[in-house]
Amino acid sequence: MAYTITMNFTRRGFVLSACAALPAAAKSYGFKIGVTDWNLRQTGKLEAVGLAKRLGFAGVQVSLGRNAVDNKLPLDNDEVIRKYIAEAKTQGIKLNGTCLDILHVNYLKNDKLGQKWVADSIPITKKLGIQVILLPFFGKGALQTKEEMDYVGDALREIAPSAEKAGVILGLENTISAEDNVRIMERSRSKAVLTYYDVGNSNRAGFDVIKEIRWLGKKRICQMHLKDNPGYLGDGKIDFVGVTKAMRDIGFEGYANLETDSPSKNVEADMKKNLTYLMKVLEGRG
C-alpha cells in the first residue's frame, strides 16, 4: 500500500499520516527513522517514548544520564528499565538505542571512569532490549590526536568482549574522519565496535558525507544521526537526497535518528516538519 503526506490537514491528521508513512519507508528502504529523546527535550524521561510515537517515529534513542547517582548511571535501575520496556510495548514503538552521555563529563579518551561507564552501560542496554550504545566524543572530550584515538581503541579492546557476549554494539560518534574511526575499530579488535555516523557532525568537520557513507559501507555503520543544524533538514548544505540514496545503496538496515534542532522553539512542530521532509525524500518527492 502506498502512503502520501499532504500539507492540508489538521494537527491530528498530520500525526496519523506521518505514522502511516513510516512503515512504508522502512519496508521500501530497509532502514527506519527514529528520534533522540534529548532533541525531543525529554532527556532521560519516560515521556519521550510516547511523544516519539505520537509524532510518527519508528523508534526512540534513550539517554542513560549525564550525572551519576550513588556511583551508578541514572538508568541503572531495574524498576526504571521495566517502565521503559512496558511503555515502549504499550506505545508500539522500538527503543532503538542508548546514549552514554556521561562521557561528556568523564572523557573516554583519558579518564578511567569513562571506561567504567562504558562497561556499566552494556548490561543496562541489554536489559532494555537495545543493541546499540552511542559513545560520544565532543567538546573537551573530542578526539584530536592519534594518541587519543589509540587510547580509545585500547580502552575499548578491554571492554568489547563484554559487549560481544551481551550482543551489544559500541558506536563511535565524533568529529573525526571515517578512516580514523575505522582505525579505532581495528585497534579495538572487536566486531562490537562500529561507527555511529552523524552526517551533521561530519559535514561541519569538512568531510564528504556521501563519500564517507559509501566508503564505510553497511557493515561498519551501526546507526546514524540525520541533522543539518541549526536549521531544518533540506534548508542547509547537506544533500539528503544523496545521503539517503547512499544509505539505500549500501544496504543500511539500522536506525537513522533525527538529532535536529528546533528553529521555531516548537519542538513538536519542528520535528514533524523535518519528518515530513524526510518522508518526501524517501518517497522521491523531495
**Would you say 48 and 60 are in contact if contact means Cβ atoms under 8 Å apart?**
yes
DSSP state of 104: G
pLDDT score recorded for residue 21:
42
In the predicted model, residues of the chain with pLDDT beneath 50 are 1-28
pLDDT score recorded for residue 8:
37
Q: How wide is the angle at C-alpha 285 spanned by C-alphas 281 and 286, nearest 5°?
A: 45
pLDDT score recorded for residue 2:
36
Three-class SS state of 141: helix
Helix (H) or strand (E) holding 22: helix 11-29
Beta strands of 55-123 (E only): which ranges?
A: 59-63, 94-99
Nearest residue to 172 (alpha-carbon basis) of 110, 122, 222: 222
Q: How far apart are CA 273 and CA 285, in angstroms?
A: 15
List the domains of the chain with CATH numbers. Answer: 31-282 (3.20.20.150)
pLDDT score recorded for residue 284:
86
**Would you say 42 and 48 are in contact if contact means Cβ atoms under 8 Å apart?**
yes
pLDDT score recorded for residue 29:
61
User: Which amino acid, residue 17?
Assistant: S
- Tens of pLDDT, residues 75-89: 999 999 999 999 999
Length reported for the chain = 286
Nearest residue to 81 (alpha-carbon basis) of 66, 99, 95: 95
pLDDT score recorded for residue 4:
34
Helix (H) or strand (E) holding 83: helix 78-91
Q: Which three cell numbers stand for residue 201?
A: 557532525
State in Å, rounded, how far the first CA of the chain is from the last one.
20
Q: How far apart are CA 40 and CA 117, in angstroms?
A: 24
pLDDT score recorded for residue 117:
98
Burial of residue 68 (number of CB atoms within 10 Å: 0-12, 13-18, 19+)? middle
